[in-house]
Amino acid sequence: MDPVTIDTTKIKSIKRKPVTALEKLEDTGLISTVLAAREREGLILLSTIDQVFNWARLSSLWPVTSGLACCAIEMMGVAMAHHDIARFGMEIFRASPRQADLMFVAGTVTKRMAPRVKQLYEMMPDPKWVIAVGSCASTGGPYHESYSVLKGVDLIIPVDVYIPGCPPRPEAWLYAIIQLREKIKNEGYGAKWGLNK
Amino acid sequence: MNPAEELKQKLPSAVVSIGIQVNKPMAVIKKEELLNAAQKVKEMGFDHLSVITGIDYMDHFEVVYNFFSYAKKQNLALKVITDHEDPEVDSLTSLWKGADWLERETYDLVGIKFIGHPNLVRILLPDGWIGHPLRKDYDMDTEQFVTIGEGGEDIVSTDGSNLLRRK
């Protein structure tokens, strides 16, 4: 990002009653921090706490180890060396949902499995994200007219990214992971100010 | 002589008709004579009961038993025809232990009762599921949902209020 330049001519009238927004900012005492930073070569990196958190969150998404059907085989393919999601800092599939912040719903969600999937999701700590993998988890897929399959996992838990395919190729998973990272980047304050670079 | 013809020769009173189905010898058995015929089939060397199937033909049910002999490398299919109102056949668990789960599955999905089965409860769907889904008259319009109860047991409901995010 561009270095922020501070116009120091405007911050001299510190004894005057604060009128402008910048003067009010001086009055709070916060401006002295900016001045101190200016003395260190005048390069200041501005951000919001949200963006720092987002950067930390998207850099180490830990998925929960759960596979429901054949999509889970592709999940192994994504995790292994050829496609290597360790590049995104998410190679650690946690065996406990308490330590995970991402859930791949990889496969067919049957009626009997649905409350268990929901329980897994509720056991994960906030913030948490869900990727619905394949046509079964997205809509029910080939089992849409079935008596025993839930018509999309978004009926029971919120879903961030849907991946079409039956099962989707690992490249599609990687694209979905990149999309999710973009989404996390734009959460909270600061994104509209251009701080989410 | 294929196994179906052999069975008809040994038990002419029990076999209604014989034929070939999907390249396998097939014999239609009288419902009352099923245990006798199965006993004979086992004596003929069919040591493996691979599949039990129930078929709904709207006016009657058909139960299909697929046998295989590891020694002779032969297949044999037995068919029993039951009425539609109260489908009941004898259980084969006394002859083949593997019939236990196969008969439970057939009971679960088609609703055929096996007389003499030691533990005839549903095997795939939870207890309390309404109807048998592979029947032609199964009600596909009322969707059923499963939730987990206090003690970890499955509870079947038709509204899904504890499960769904919105109705």
Domains in chain B with CATH codes? 3-115 (3.30.460.80)
**Which residue of A110, A130, A147, A157 to mutate against B (max B Cβ within 10 Å)?**
A147
Task: Check residue B102 and give its pLDDT.
Answer: 93
> Contacts of residue B154 in chain A, CB cutoff 8 Å?
112
Is the pTM value of this prediction over 0.90?
Answer: no
Nearest-angstrom CA–CA distance, A177 and A88 = 8
Query: Residue range A81-101: average pLDDT?
Result: 89
Question: Which residues of chain A form CATH 3.40.50.12280?
Answer: 56-188
CB contact under 8 A, A115 and B138: no
Contacts of B85 (CB under 8 A, 6+ apart): none
Q: Nearest C-alpha of chain B: how many angstroms from A101?
A: 20
| Bigger pLDDT: A168 vs A25 | A168
**pLDDT average per 10 residues of sequence, chain B (167 residues):** 88 89 91 90 91 92 94 92 91 91 93 92 90 90 88 86 77
Residue B7: what are its φ and ψ, rounded to 5°?
-65, -40
CB contact under 8 A, A145 and B125: no
* pLDDT level of residue A25 (50, 70, 90 thresholds): low
Task: Check residue A194 and give its pLDDT.
Answer: 63
Q: Is the distance from CB of B14 to CB of B27 less than 8 angstroms?
A: no
Cα A191 to Cα A35, A47, A55, distances in angstroms: 26, 10, 12
What ipTM was predicted for this assembly?
0.81
Secondary structure letter of residue B126 according to DSSP: P
In this structure, which amino acid lies at residue A117? V
Q: Comparing A52-61, A172-181, A187-196, B34-43, which segment has the lowest mean pLDDT? A: A187-196
Instruction: Find the CB nearest A112 among B146, B162, B165.
Output: B146
Q: Does the structural domain A56-188 have CATH classification 3.40.50.1000?
A: no
In this structure, which amino acid lies at residue B167? K
* pLDDT level of residue A180 (50, 70, 90 thresholds): very high
